Chains A and B, each alone.
Chain A
Amino acid sequence: MIPEIGQFALGVALCLALVQTLVPLAGAQWSNPDWMAVARPAARGQFLFMVIAFACLTYAFISNDFSVLYVAENSNSALPLPYRMAAVWGGHEGSLLLWALVLSAWTFAVTLCSRSLPSQFRARVIAVMGLISIGFILFMLTTSNPFERLFPAPADGRDLNPLLQDPGLVIHPPMLYMGYVGMSVPFAFAIAALLGGHLDAAWARWSRPWVTAAWVFLTLGIMMGSWWAYHELGWGGWWFWDPVENASFMPWLVGTALIHSLAVTEKRAAFKNWTVLLAILAFSLSLLGTFLVRSGVLVSVHAFATDPARGLFILMFLTLVVGGSLLLYAWRAPKVRSGGSFEPVSRETTLLINNILLVTAAASILLGTLYPIFLDALGLGKISVGAPYFAAVFVPLMVPLAFLIGVGPLARWKQSRIGELMHRLRFVLIAAIAAGVTLPLIVAGVNRVLIAVGIGLGTWVAISSVMNLAAYLRRQTPHQPPISKALVKVPRAVYGMTLAHLGVGVFIVGVTFTSAFGVEHELRMDPGASAQLGGYQFQFLGAHELEGPNYTAVRGRIEVTRDDKQITILHPEKRVYRVQTNPMTEAGIDSTMFRDLYVALGEPLNGGAWGVRLYYKPFVQWLWLGPILMALGGVLAVSDRRYRATARQKAMPAGTISRGPEPVPLTSR
């Protein structure tokens, strides 16, 4: 009964999405306020029914209803409850439902936070998002119905893929989808602006918080995926340039470019066309990612069960949405006039170079990911494009970008001078060079050019970010008031930028140290045997069997000591889940801020011995600390007063003159 309610709710959601799209779009076209006003209630109704549908599927999982085909394929009665709930998005159909739910949620958020938008613009934004919703709900109802029944119902299900039975994977997809799908908001803003023919600085100001919010989720989602891979796959790896990883990274890169480009458009009304194009591209890459994961076109560890019919549907949808947007862009963009001239040395220039580097990086990753398909389609044979290519291409592009992070915020709008910039940054430069030369020696006793450059860049980014904050403080408060007062007056957006850039620096330092000084040792260990790695002693104390809720495992005990003092006992496991019997590795990890000790069991050998893999990973936690700081920076930027101020100004009656400083709002928008 409940699954049928869920399916019915999907149908209702589809109808509401149709209304949400067609009526406001027509209303905007013919300036009919009643039709335009349909947008918000229709969107809210769609959200309600998507929640109902999702709740029904979740209920089917919680109650172990194996008469639902999707539940039977992805769950099992022995599966612990948290994973039964996460299994809702463990397969293709359910993850689509999540996609559509998240989309309706973002649309709902737009209906709540759009009072300051002109009604024609708002109607178009909501209509465009409704169009996307129609596509996804239709896709589900025609090819990928999560509520399809299975008769006769099996006694038990096929269990969730053991790789997914991990806390990281409970949070990673929802977070990632919030980011992916969130890019539909700036996309809708861009389309609405093109349709209306008005592209001005106000549009940039409206779009910016939405882009930043989506970007925050995407950052966290990608970070969680990397963290999960590190913990779960047992080889100490954290990024593989797998096609589906790339599919999430490209919108992130373009989203970052978009955030910076919007700054230029907002402040100087320049590069409007470029910014609009970026907004279209960011979401297009999200949709392309959806296609790549579900079509079977590429070899990937993340790919859902492939089905060319589904692939074809998504491709047609992709062609319609992206092709349509780009044609609209080609038609309308030439009529847009951008203003704002600027000198060769200016903040505009640094931000544009930022954009060029980020977009080139995204384009290169796209090229590398799709190149095997190009060659195969042309009959030129089969090649693989893997990590060595991406690393070789991505890193050189990021080096100048990292350097610019220090220069850009310091450069003035419209015009700046190189001499002045270099003068202000001279101490940072010296500190960065010193750090690059000395820190690797302190950490590991050796140094090489590439390592020094990496550490130097990371330090440059981190210190220059803090220095820029100090420079900002000095600029804003020339009369030397107490520091605490000055700090409070700094807009959150400036703190946000500082923190985000600091996060980049932290990440660069982490990546350099962990890649350069990480050590690995794979060896046979008999019970009682010892090995040395990275200054630590690892002693294998044997392994014993144990039973988990839905698996049997062999659990090893490895005692780690340093200078004869016990640091910890690690428990790597080799699990065999009862239903899907591929063996799974659970690494034993001891983490501190400055190093991880990582142990994994390989294969059992004779005499109770095991093949064991030992890893020493310096600064690896910085790989995830960096993105967390970036995300926090983004949150600060989104919650900046100026986005809340606009609503308050609208709410104040005309003619009111505000006295003194703006009151701190009690509620944020």
Chain B
Amino acid sequence: MPLVIQSAPMAPALANRYHALLEELRCLVCQNESLAESNAALATDLRAEIRGMMKRGASNEQIINFLVVRYGDFILYRPPFKPITYLLWLAPFVLAATGLTVLLYKIGQRARREERPLSAQEQNQLRKLLCDGNKD
């Protein structure tokens, strides 16, 4: 098992931000793990790079941009909000709203059907049924 060389520890607030960011990034070698968990050499290198950038005062956005320029959007577990992902981010809301709208429409439709007065043909049918019923 490899030795891990410990660099100077980070301030607690920075460390929290660091760990949180690592969880949002995918390891490209062990693609089922985040950068936080992966033991791959590339993951170790990228962690060191990110640590260095954070200590030098880089924001999360700058770090993410650094990685995306080199590796593309695949490295982000949170898909960016851009034209090709509008459908992805907006669909849940649109689906729920559509469903609720259809539901309201259906409820209104049933209510309207109930309130509609009988047509002449239906009135005839009703009279026949009632009269026939009385004959028994």
A interface vs B, CB < 8 Å?
235, 242, 299-301, 341-344, 349, 352-353, 356-357, 359-361, 363-364, 367-368, 371, 375, 380-389, 392-393, 397, 520, 522, 524, 574, 583, 602-606, 611
Nearest-neighbour CB distance to chain A for B38, whole angstroms, equals 11
- The digit string for B75-113, where 1 denotes a CB below 8 A from any CB of A, is 111111000110111011001100110011001001101
Say yes or no: is B72 at the interface (Cβ < 8 Å to chain A). yes
A341 touches B1 (CB 8 A): no
Are A603 and B26 in contact, CB atoms less than 8 angstroms apart? no
Q: Which residues of B are found within 8 Å of A341, using beta-carbon distances?
A: 110-111, 113-114
A383, A604, A611: most-surrounded residue (chain B CB, <10 A):
A383
- Determine the distance from Cα of A39 to Cα of B107 in the docked complex, in whole angstroms: 42
How far, in angstroms, from A299 to B33 measured CA to CA in the complex? 11
Across the interface, do B84 and A375 meet the contact criterion of CB distance under 8 Å? yes
The CA of A461 and the CA of B16, in the complex, are separated in Å by 33
Contact between A393 and B92 (Cβ–Cβ < 8 Å)?
A: yes
- Give the interface SS of chain A, mostly helix, strand, loop or mixed: mixed
List 21 A–B pairs whose Cβ atoms lie within 8 Å, in order of A's numbering: A341-B110, A344-B104, A344-B111, A356-B103, A360-B99, A364-B91, A364-B95, A371-B79, A371-B85, A381-B72, A382-B74, A383-B73, A384-B73, A387-B77, A388-B77, A388-B78, A389-B78, A522-B19, A603-B2, A604-B1, A605-B4
A residues near B78, Cβ cutoff 8 Å: 386, 388-389, 392
Kindly provide the distance from the CB of A357 to the nearest chain B CB, expressed in whole angstroms: 7
Q: Within 8 Å CB of B111, what residues of A?
A: 341, 343-344
Q: A605 — which chain B residues lie within 8 A by C-beta?
A: 3-4, 6
Q: Please give 17 more A-B residue pairs, beta carbons under 8 A apart, in addition to A389-B78, A602-B4.
A: A343-B107, A343-B111, A353-B100, A360-B99, A364-B91, A367-B87, A367-B91, A371-B88, A383-B79, A383-B84, A384-B74, A386-B77, A386-B78, A388-B78, A389-B79, A522-B19, A603-B2
Q: Which A residue's beta carbon lies closest to that of B92?
A: A364
**Listed residue (A300, A375, A522, A574) with the most chain B CB atoms within 10 angstroms of its CB:** A375
Q: Which residues of B contact A603 (CB under 8 A)?
A: 1-4
Contacts of A382 in B (CB 8 A): 72-74
Candidate in A242, A381, A384, A524 with the most chain B CB atoms within 10 angstroms: A384
B37 on interface, CB distance cutoff 8 Å: yes
**Interface pair B95/A363, CB less than 8 Å apart:** yes
A384 x B76 contact (CB < 8 A): yes
Cα A363 to Cα B114 in complex, Å, equals 33
Chain B residues engaging chain A, CB cutoff 8 angstroms = 1-4, 6, 19, 24, 26, 31-32, 36-37, 72-80, 84-85, 87-89, 91-92, 95-96, 99-100, 103-104, 107, 110-111, 113-114
Contact indicator A384/B26 (Cβ below 8 Å): yes
Complex Cα gap A353–B101 (Å): 11
A341 to B110, CA, bound (A): 6
Q: A360-B92, A360-B99, A397-B92 are in contact. Are A384 and B32 (CB under 8 A)?
A: no
**CB proximity of B36 to chain A, nearest CB, Å:** 8
Q: Which residues from chain B contact A360 at a C-beta distance below 8 Å?
A: 92, 95-96, 99
Contacts of B1 in A (CB 8 A): 574, 583, 603-604
From residue B60, how far is it (CB to closest CB) to chain A in Å?
13
- Given A299-B32, A359-B99, are A368 and B88 neighbors across the interface (CB < 8 Å)? yes
Residues of B within 8 Å of A381, CB to CB, are: 72-73, 84
Residue on A nearest B12 in the bound complex, by CB: A521
A299 close to B107 (CB less than 8 A): no
With A371-B88, A381-B72, A385-B79 as known contacts, state yes or no: A356 contacts B2, CB within 8 Å.
no
Check if B92 sits within 8 Å of A384, measured CB to CB.
Answer: no
Which residue on A lies nearest to B26, using beta carbons? A384
**Are A384's CB and B113's CB within 8 A?**
no
B73: nearest chain-A partner, CB-CB: A383
Chain A residues with CB below 8 A from B96, complex form: 356-357, 360, 397
How far is B73's CA from A363's CA once the two chains are assembled, in angstroms? Answer: 23
Q: Which A residues lie within 8 Å of B72 (CB)?
A: 381-382
Enumerate chain B residues within 8 angstroms of A342, measured Cβ to Cβ. 107, 110
Query: Closest chain B residue to A520 by CB distance?
Result: B19
Residue of B nearest to A302 (CB): B32
When the two chains form their complex, are residues A356 and B100 in contact, meaning their CB atoms are under 8 A apart?
yes
- Chain A residues, Cβ within 8 Å of B100: 353, 356
**Which residues of A have CB within 8 Å of B75?**
384
Point out the residue from A242, A357, A392 that lies within 8 Å of B32, measured CB to CB.
Answer: A242
Measured in the bound complex, the distance between the Cα atoms of B4 and A356 in whole Å is 51
Task: Please give, as numbers and ranges, the residues of chain B lying within 8 Å of A604 by CB-CB distance.
Answer: 1, 3
Shortest Cβ distance from residue A556 to the other chain B in the assembled complex, whole angstroms: 14
B33 to chain A, nearest CB (A): 8
CA distance A520 to B37 in the complex (A): 14
Taken together as a complex, chains A and B put the C-alpha atoms of A364 and B90 apart, in Å, by 10
Please determine whether A349 and B103 come into contact, CB atoms closer than 8 angstroms: yes
